[in-house]
Amino acid sequence: MSKIYIVLSQTGTLLSRFIKRITHDPYNHASIAFEPNLKSLYSFGRLNPRFVLPGGFVKESPDYGTFKRYKKTRIALYELEVSEELYQQIRAKVEDMYAHKSDYKYNVKGLMLAGFRKRRAKPKYFYCSEFVAYVLYIFHLVDDKFYYRVIKPMDFLDVVNISLVKECMMSDYADDRRKNHRNALLGGNCQN
């Protein structure tokens, strides 16, 4: 068996604080990763860490971009066990999408409408949690009922067989990872 990782985060940016005020959720951004070191996470978000827009398909990391700029980013790292074959298929799909990232757009209207519990789906347009839900949906890891609703990052806690690995500051996770990858998974500054 292999694992894919869903990372929920709260960066503390102006937009994330605004979303948190509306949702009252502790996390309001979602990413997907394929390695526990979180060296590369995929999502839809700001293209430039300094500005909310433009947004698009992004590769994130604790070592650069928004997570590096916002050092007080808090994360909840979840894992989902899948077969090795499914892991390879999901990873190939996400990496192919990223290779063609100019074909995808940030779903600004969808994000705004989600605040009013209205869904605006449009092919190749995503906000962060829509993208993660889409990936899980096309590989049958979530059902129609899950996918065809307004998706918020905290909804991933409802995914069957998902389990929490860590909750901590992204910078602590990255520091632990740099010091000793094995230690980052077993201890360090993060809490299980």
The SS3 call for residue 106 is strand
Q: Which residue is it, tokens 């602590």?
A: 172
Number of independent structural domains in the chain: 1
* Domain region containing 179: 2-186
- Identify the band that residue 52 occupies on the pLDDT scale cut at 50, 70 and 90: confident
Please check whether residue 41 is in contact with residue 7, taking contact to mean a CB–CB distance below 8 angstroms.
yes
Please indicate, yes or no, if residue 160 is contained in any of the structural domains: yes
Please indicate, yes or no, if residue 60 is contained in any of the structural domains: yes
Please indicate, yes or no, if residue 147 is contained in any of the structural domains: yes
Please check whether residue 82 is in contact with residue 2, taking contact to mean a CB–CB distance below 8 angstroms.
yes
Helical segments of 27-106, H only:
65-69, 84-99
**φ, ψ dihedrals at 3, nearest 5°:** -130, 140
Please indicate, yes or no, if residue 192 is contained in any of the structural domains: no
The span from the CA of 146 to the CA of 143, in Å, is: 5
Task: For the full predicted model, state whether its pTM sits above 0.95.
Answer: no
Please check whether residue 3 is in contact with residue 21, taking contact to mean a CB–CB distance below 8 angstroms.
no
* pLDDT tens string 57-109: 999 998 888 888 888 999 999 999 999 999 999 999 999 999 999 999 999 99
* pLDDT tens string 136-161: 999 999 999 999 999 999 999 999 99
Q: pLDDT at position 190, please?
A: 59
- Report the run of H or E that residue 44 belongs to, with start and end: strand 41-46
Q: pLDDT at position 184, please?
A: 44
Q: pLDDT at position 103, please?
A: 97
Please indicate, yes or no, if residue 134 is contained in any of the structural domains: yes
Please indicate, yes or no, if residue 191 is contained in any of the structural domains: no
* pLDDT tens string 113-123: 887 889 998 99
The span from the CA of 62 to the CA of 158, in Å, is: 26
Please indicate, yes or no, if residue 173 is contained in any of the structural domains: yes
Q: Which residue is it, tokens 């909750």?
A: 167
Please indicate, yes or no, if residue 76 is contained in any of the structural domains: yes
Q: pLDDT at position 191, please?
A: 57
- Identify the band that residue 124 occupies on the pLDDT scale cut at 50, 70 and 90: very high
Put the strands of the sheet holding 162-169 in their side by side order.
Answer: 55-60, 41-46, 29-33, 2-10, 74-82, 162-169
Average pLDDT for the chain: 89
- Identify the band that residue 15 occupies on the pLDDT scale cut at 50, 70 and 90: confident
Q: Of 139, 157, 163, 136, which Cα lies nearest the Cα of 147? A: 136
The span from the CA of 38 to the CA of 68, in Å, is: 13
Q: Is the dihedral of CA 170, 13, 76, 124 positive or negative?
A: negative
* Residue 65's CATH number: 3.90.1720
Q: pLDDT at position 117, please?
A: 85
